[in-house]
Amino acid sequence: MSARPVALSGTPESSLARTGVLLMLLGMLMFALNDVMGKWLVSTYSVGQVVFVRSVAALIILAPFLWYSGPKKILQVDRPILQLARVAASTAEIFAFYFAVVYLPLADVMTYWLAAPIYVAAISPLVLKEPVGWRRWSAIIVGFIGVVIALEPSSQALTPQAIISILGSMTFALMLLLGRSLRGTPDTTLVFWQIVGAGLAGAASLYFDWKPVSPRDLVLLAVLGVVAMLAHMLVNRALKMADAATVAPLQYTLLFWAIVFGWLVFGDVPRLPMLIGSGFIVASGLFIFFREQQLKRQGRMKAEPAEAIVTGSGDPV
């Protein structure tokens, strides 16, 4: 029988998992604060201006990590066409998100964005040639039903802002999909080019719409980038300290914070169709995630006997 895994520092794995859960929850809170600050700032400044200052602040925070990784590794990227496509998708997603929160409640926008994993699961068979069984197809259909319920398609509700939210969540899904294809690229490289792409797009828009920034708002714009970077760092650390099956579902706490902050800060009262639709989306996303985890475990279990024979041991190494 194998001994219980213990970290090199002597910290039990269960303790690391608890720490990972706390870091993930804190990371989701930081992302929610980032969204609230972004919604607040884009009510005064253009989306491009907010994205530009946010990107500059994020690059300043990221600079030590870039130096540690080595400039050559950052500049030498594999599969540049896919990298460029991912940067374009992430830039479009950021602009769409900030544009959407100008006009829509934060919880509505977050509901559309949380549907992205459902789009990924639906597109994966075509793009990545990943098999999807009837169970996950059923969950995908349920998720799409949730999107339709939350969207309330009608001549009054199907506004350009809502359509941009859906398109933005789809570009987010495309970014996630391209990220799967670029698994071999270090996270620092992916984040760096993602920030650079958004920053350049924001800088290009400054010519058309720039407003003088007060000292207070300049600090808030800078903090926006810092909070976003800290959120990414917390989530990455959480995924290293705990199993993905434990911490990844906690991303749906973003919807809770979106409802709470939207009500407290902006006076947004959640719509009943949005709450019902978000329930469908969350249930579908969780089923798809746990089904993928189950299939991965089954794949590992099939590989274990052969691995045990190769190592000559009764227990797989």
The pLDDT of residue 8: 43
Q: What is the per-residue pLDDT across 239-252, written as a single tens digit (0 to 9) for each? A: 777 776 677 778 88
Phi, psi values for residue 44, rounded to 5°? -115, -40
Please check whether residue 37 is in contact with residue 223, taking contact to mean a CB–CB distance below 8 angstroms.
yes
Q: How much is the pLDDT for 300?
A: 62
- pTM greater than 0.85: no
pLDDT tens digits, one per residue of 153-202? 655 556 788 888 889 989 988 887 887 777 777 777 788 888 899 999 99
Q: What is the mean pLDDT of residues 211-233?
A: 83
pLDDT of residue 303: 54
Domain residue spans of the chain: 20-303
Per the CB < 8 A criterion, the answer to whether 254 and 28 are in contact is: yes
Token code pair at residue 311: 């190592």
Q: Please name which of 182, 141, 175 lies closest in space to residue 280, comparing C-alpha atoms.
A: 141
Of 223, 240, 128, 124, the closest CA to residue 187 belongs to: 240
| Percentage of the chain exceeding pLDDT 70 | 84
Residue 2 pLDDT class (50, 70, 90 cuts) = very low
Sign of the dihedral through C-alpha 145, 147, 149, 155: negative
Per-residue model confidence as pLDDT tens digits over 109-136? 888 888 888 888 888 777 767 677 778 7
Q: Convert the pLDDT of each residue in 32-73 to its tens digit.
A: 998 898 899 888 889 999 999 888 888 888 888 777 777 676
